[in-house]
Chains A and B, each alone.
Chain A
Amino acid sequence: MLNIFCPICQRDCDETELSCGGQAHLIRRDHASSDKDFYEYLYERKNDKGIIFERWRHVYGCGKWFHTARCTLTNQVFGSYSAKEVQPPKSILATIRRSRVDFKGWVK
């Protein structure tokens, strides 16, 4: 069972309290964008094997969205941060680097 910190409630939550919203930091497209951009926004995902940044929602708690860094191979969770951030904060990247020396950083 995953155990993820909710930065709004300021406490750890079980996986059953949460719902995953997929890849974080997607650029939202609207009707004025090109077909290619809209396709990328709707369907194309990084789907990395390793560190990912994803959206979670505390459905059976505060109901708010937040972002989490997690490794998809080991399911290790590196911490959560506000959904208002447009890219992963330095503190999270530093936490990841401490346990993964080969981590190359966040790619858009």
Chain B
Amino acid sequence: MKRYSLSSIFTEAFRDNLGWEKAWTKRQPKKEYQIIIVGGGGHGLATAYYLAKNFNITDIAVIEKGWIGGGNTGRNTTIIRSNYLQESSIGIYEKSRFLYETLSQDLNYNIMFSPRGVLMLCQTEHELRAMKRTSHANRISGVDTKMVTPEKVKELVPIININGPRFPVLGALWQPRGGTARHDAVAWGYARKCSDFGIDIIEQCEVIGVKKKREKILGVETTKGNIKAKKVCFVAAGHSSVLADLAGFRLPIESVALQALVSEPIKPIIDCVVMANTVHGYLSQSDKGELVIGGGADGYNNYSQRGSFLHIEETVRALVETFPVISRLRQLRQWGGIVDMTGDRSPIISKTPVDGLYINCGWGTGGFKAIPGSGWATAEMIYNEQPGKLASPFSIDRFSEGRLIDESAAAAVAH
């Protein structure tokens, strides 16, 4: 792999950019691998990458049903933050945010990480108290967040209306090192580096069956033939239940459509991420000038990748009240992704009833921010054949054992 650098840009500029290589090699599956990762999104690729980087294993196939970056990794609103309430969540999300800081250098791929600050508004007394509690929890765990006053909110975001009347801004939780990154670039950067390590990235290859013998994994059946493997890891987000069904068990997961939209591009009006949980809406401005807007998930299970129009209306209605200046903007694009929701709104990184089969799912509405940390923890679990410190709180057992990691109060909105 040729390194991307200033000199490579100069060199290519003088020869009509003819020397660039494909970022990653598209491969056909071999008969057998040590490890198969099912799902070529951010989490799957990051898992493969950290298996290679931290544990020196490169006999890996990453199997993707569609194309790299075509699933939820390319469908989110690119927000990165770690201001969670529970210690286990803070552990993995802060690890992730920390890895994002230097990810462009690590991958030699500009993921455009922009720590522009994340502001979580408090628009009811209850939310204000909950956020204060979160800020204390963050301080104890060493996450840099603090509560700010409505006046400070107005200073940070001049276009905001803090006076209500329905939902006045009473304060906000401010994480200055949170922000955004270019979502496709995260997937492409990981894919490029994985390919460089010699990991096979196999696109347009759907898993249609699971081979096992006496509850021990033997491999997977795919649309490109059978592939054997010692270990398999499902990292398929919204389709995790479909894969689990093939392997003969059920998950505590329900899939719903979550959607986002962007406005027409305008001049810079907001330079941080604002999340308004009470009114279900969040807003940031992309480098292209589009306002990136996300809202609530559909209220019923579906795999449609579209989402219902009424949720767009709800989200935009709420945001117009908080940001009156955006009321005349037109919508440019709208899209949906299928998110895998668990009962406690926390992910699952776990072994499964099938020996040698691992699963990473349940990130629900907030998986993008967790990609590096999740990959790190999952790679550790697959290599050691048991979850490490980061992953162990997120095992499937937690539901039957009653040790839920309840983040639904801390993040009532999609994020």
Q: Which residues of A contact B (CB under 8 A)?
A: 1-2, 15-16, 19-20, 22, 35-36, 39-40, 42-49, 52, 54, 70, 72-75
Q: Are B310 and A43 in contact (CB under 8 A)?
A: no
Residues of A within 8 A of B255 (CB): 47, 49, 72
Q: Is the CB of B11 closer than 8 A to any CB of chain A?
A: no
- A36 touching B242 in the complex, CB below 8 Å, given contacts A45-B250, A74-B304, A75-B302: no
21 contacts between A and B (CB under 8 A): A2-B308, A19-B299, A20-B300, A36-B400, A39-B400, A42-B399, A43-B343, A44-B251, A45-B241, A45-B254, A46-B241, A47-B241, A47-B253, A47-B254, A47-B255, A47-B301, A48-B241, A54-B300, A70-B300, A72-B255, A72-B302
Q: Are A45 and B252 in contact (CB under 8 A)?
A: yes
Residues of A within 8 A of B211 (CB): none
Residues of B within 8 A of A43 (CB): 252, 343, 399
Interchain CA distance A19-B301 in the complex, whole Å: 12
Q: Are B310 and A1 in contact (CB under 8 A)?
A: yes
Known: A2-B308, A43-B252, A49-B303. 8 other contacts (CB 8 A): A1-B310, A39-B252, A39-B399, A45-B251, A46-B250, A49-B241, A73-B303, A75-B304
Q: Per-position contact with A for B178-218: 1 when CB-CB < 8 Å, else 0?
A: 00000000000000000000000000000000000000000
- A72 touching B254 in the complex, CB below 8 Å, given contacts A2-B308, A42-B343: no
**From B251, B253, B303, B304, residue with most partner A Cβ within 10 Å:** B303
Interchain CA distance A56-B309 in the complex, whole Å: 19
Q: Per-position contact with A for B245-263: 1 when CB-CB < 8 Å, else 0?
A: 1000011111100000000
Interface residues of B in 292-340 (CB under 8 A from A): 299-304, 308-310
Q: Are A15 and B301 in contact (CB under 8 A)?
A: no
Closest to A44 in B: B250
Q: Per-position contact with A for B225-267: 1 when CB-CB < 8 Å, else 0?
A: 0000000000000010110010000111111000000000000
Residues of A within 8 A of B252 (CB): 39, 43-45
Residues of A within 8 A of B304 (CB): 72-75
Contact among A20, A52, A73 for B299, CB-based, below 8 A: A20
Q: Are B301 and A16 in contact (CB under 8 A)?
A: no
Interchain CA distance A47-B338 in the complex, whole Å: 12
Contact among A15, A46, A72 for B310, CB-based, below 8 A: A15
Interchain CA distance A29-B246 in the complex, whole Å: 27
Q: Are B308 and A1 in contact (CB under 8 A)?
A: yes
Min CB distance, A40 to chain B, in Å?
8
Residues of B within 8 A of A19 (CB): 299
Q: Are B303 and A35 in contact (CB under 8 A)?
A: no
Interchain CA distance A46-B242 in the complex, whole Å: 9
Residues of A within 8 A of B300 (CB): 2, 20, 54, 70
Residues of A within 8 A of B303 (CB): 49, 72-73
Interchain CA distance A46-B250 in the complex, whole Å: 7
Interchain CA distance A15-B307 in the complex, whole Å: 12
Interchain CA distance A16-B241 in the complex, whole Å: 27
Residues of A within 8 A of B251 (CB): 44-45, 47
Interchain CA distance A6-B49 in the complex, whole Å: 51
Q: Are B400 and A72 in contact (CB under 8 A)?
A: no
Interchain CA distance A4-B72 in the complex, whole Å: 29
Residues of B within 8 A of A49 (CB): 239, 241-242, 255, 303
Q: Are A54 and B301 in contact (CB under 8 A)?
A: yes
Min CB distance, B65 to chain A, in Å?
12
Closest to B305 in A: A73
Q: Are A1 and B309 in contact (CB under 8 A)?
A: yes
Min CB distance, B256 to chain A, in Å?
9
Min CB distance, B12 to chain A, in Å?
44
Interface residues of B in 108-130 (CB under 8 A from A): none
Interchain CA distance A64-B379 in the complex, whole Å: 48
Q: Are A45 and B253 in contact (CB under 8 A)?
A: yes
Interchain CA distance A105-B60 in the complex, whole Å: 38
Residues of B within 8 A of A35 (CB): 400
Interchain CA distance A25-B250 in the complex, whole Å: 16
Residues of B within 8 A of A22 (CB): 254, 301
Min CB distance, A14 to chain B, in Å?
9
Closest to A73 in B: B303
Interchain CA distance A3-B81 in the complex, whole Å: 38
Residues of A within 8 A of B254 (CB): 22, 45, 47
Q: Per-position contact with A for B124-161: 1 when CB-CB < 8 Å, else 0?
A: 00000000000000000000000000000000000000
